[in-house]
Every structure is written in structure tokens, then in C-alpha cells.
Amino acid sequence: MKNLALIGAAGFIAPRHLKAMKDTGNNLIAAYDVFDSVGIMDSFFPESSFFTEFELFDRHLSKNKGTDKEVDYVSVCTPNYLHDAHIRYGLRLGANVICEKPIVLNPWNIDALMNVEKETGHKVYNVLQLRLHSAIKALKERIDSEGRDTKYDVDLTYITSRGNWYYTTWKGDVKRSGGVATNIGVHFYDMLSWIFGKVQQNVVHVSSHDRVSGYLEFEKARVRYFLSINYDTLPEEVKLAGKRTYRSMTIEGSEFEFSDGFTELHTETYKDILSGNGFGLKEARTAIEIVHDIRHAEPQGLKGDYHPFAKLELASHPFGW
């Protein structure tokens, strides 16, 4: 049984980590969040300590060193721009770290963390849950085994509607979340590069507060993608079915079915890491390079090979920012 600590315990994703820790038979020693709405902890670890001040959390974990409550893993579920600082804390405490996606906002943050891994002898693991999705694993095996010498044509569409709240939280602030490609898309860019190999071209056609659309060429695929958090960009039939999310990937014109099983993969992630596998900083790098480059690209408009949804009318920011 491993001892864990959790930073960012009051947020949306934290319950999936608490459940994963419980499902894998491990123990939460202490949690920390600047916000104290954490009654959810009763459903998983009522015995755990909880702090709203970093210094008290640190004192508690430091005092536990050398006892049977010494922490083996620190899990990080805080806003994206704080990940690297919280990872460094966990490593320097003498623990391994399990961190949410995107592991960091910029490629050079990965280099800095690699140095701290070396300095401390501890390791960082990233939640890259799509690599553990059974249909996606099967797709990778299929593409690896086909050994084609021409590239696959892929269209990826992911629309996950978010309300106006999104724009007044850290998630709607590019400096803190990285923007739509980084915050929403990183899973998919990781999946694409994992399956189709090295990036050869990265072109952005449209980029705004609520969507990003572009073209990515990998060793084995040409991908047109459209990602959006705006409900109005959903296809009519999806809206009529009362849904707010639409996920589609076509490969050579055939639909690849992967609509389910996205939200149940944290327990698999913990099992994978705690059994000695897991995805580290090295594995996380390509997707972080892709999202960094998208964030800083000059959108070139509707030129070249663009996703059909890139033509959709742009929306103004709900608060006029």
C-alpha cells in the first residue's frame, strides 16, 4: 500500500483521483487546496488530513518523513500554470508525482523538471489517459501492424460545450490554462502523435477564445482537426439529440468509434503507474511542443487543407474580451 498526498483536492477532477487511489487500495495521507469545499473526501478518505495553507500541508508531510505515513506519491490537480511548481514541491519532498494534463504549458518547463528529477532521484508521471483507452490502444496496434508506406487521412472533431463560467475562471485565461488547444486538445494531440509518429507540419487555420482548427502532419498521417467549446458549433443532429459533446475521428473516411470510456480511466492510470509503468516527462513532450506551437502560431485563415468546420462563423467573446 502506498501513501499519497493530493494538491487541488476541491476541484472538478480531484474526485477521480480520490476514487483511483481508493480503487487501487492505497492511502491518502493529506490533501491541500486553497478552497475548502472538500466534503467529497468523506466518500473516500475521511481519515486524511486537509489544509488550506501550503505551509501547514508542508509541515505535516515533512513531519511524517521516516514514519509509516511518509508520502510516496504527490498527486497534482491544480490549474495548469501551477503544475510545474507543485511537481517540484513533490519531488523535493522526496516523493514521486502524478500530475494532471497538460503536465506544463511550455516545452522548456519539461527540461527544468527533468533536472529536478535528476537532482532528487524521483519521477514525474503524467495522466495521459487516452493511451489506456482500449479502442485507442487497438487502433495503435492496427496502425503499427499495417506498416503502410502512404499517410492516413484523418479528420478529428471534438466539441465539448462549456458555459460562460469557463471564461471567468482560470480555464478561460490563456496565461493560466494555455487556451483551448492546450487545455482541451492536449489529450488528442498526444493520442495522434502516439499513434502516427513524429510531427512534420503544424498549421493553424483558425484560433479564438472558443475554438482552434488546423492541420497537423505526422510521419504516418495528415490530420485536419477542429476543437471547440462553443455549443453553437455542434452539428444540428447532436443538438437535437440533447447532447453537448461531439467526438468524431475518421480515418480514410471511416468513422473510428471511441465515444465512450473517456471518464473512467484514472483508476487505470493509477494502476499503470503504481505497477511500475506510467508515462513520464519524455512521453509528455511531443504534445506539449504541439500545443505550445499552436498557441504561438499566426492563424492563416481558410487556406490549404482545412477542416470543414473551420468555416463556421466566429463568435464574439461572451464578455467582449
Q: Which residues bind ligand NAD (CB under 6 A)?
A: 7-8, 10-13, 32-35, 77-80, 82, 100-101, 127, 129, 183
Smallest gap from Cβ 12 to ligand NAD, in A, equals 3
Provide, rounded to whole angstroms, the least separation between the CB of residue 283 and ligand NAD.
Answer: 15
**How far from the centroid of its chain's Cα atoms is residue 241's Cα?**
27
What strand order describes the sheet that includes 221-228? 199-208, 211-218, 221-228, 152-160, 245-251, 254-256
Residue 282 is inside which H or E element, if any? helix 281-296
Q: Residue 229 or residue 310: which is nearer to ligand NAD going by CB?
A: 229
Pure H helices in 24-159: 54-63, 83-93, 107-120, 134-146
Minimum CB separation from ligand NAD for residue 54, in Å? 6
Quote the least distance from Cβ 243 to ligand NAD, whole Å.
18
Identity of the residue, 198 or 244, whose beta carbon is nearer to ligand NAD in the bound complex: 244
Supply the minimum distance, in Å, between the C-beta of residue 180 and ligand NAD.
12
What are the CA-CA distances from residue 241 to residues 228, 232, 234, 236, 257 (Å)? 18, 14, 11, 9, 18
Nearest-approach distance from CB 191 to ligand NAD, in angstroms: 12
Cα separation, 244 vs 253, in Å, equals 24
> Based on CB atoms, which residue is closest to ligand NAD, 100 or 268?
100
Placement of cell 492505497 in the chain: 26
Smallest distance from ligand NAD to CB 57, Å: 9
> Quick one: 8 or 90, whose CB is closer to ligand NAD?
8
Nearer to ligand NAD, 85 or 302 (CB): 85
Place of cell 476541491: 10
Q: Which is nearer to ligand NAD, 35 or 321 (CB)?
A: 35
- The alpha carbon of residue 218 and the mean position of all alpha carbons in its chain are separated, in whole angstroms, by 20
Whether residue 279 contacts residue 193, with contact meaning beta carbons closer than 8 Å, is answered with: no
Q: How far is the CB of 200 from ligand NAD (least distance, A)?
A: 27
Which triple of cell numbers denotes residue 138? 487497438
Asked whether 310 and 301 are in contact (CB, 8 A), the reply is no
Instruction: Name 2's Cβ contacts closer than 8 Å, sequence gap at least 6.
Output: 26, 27, 72, 73, 274
Beta carbons of 88 and 116 less than 8 angstroms apart: yes
Residue nearest to ligand NAD (CB): 11
In the complex with ligand NAD, the residue whose CB is nearer, 77 or 291, is: 77
Of residues 246 and 306, the one with the C-beta less far from ligand NAD:
246
Nearer to ligand NAD, 88 or 220 (CB): 88
Cβ-Cβ contacts under 8 Å for 33 (sequence gap 6 or more): 7, 8, 9, 10, 11, 14, 50, 52
| Min dist. Cβ of residue 8 to ligand NAD (A) | 4
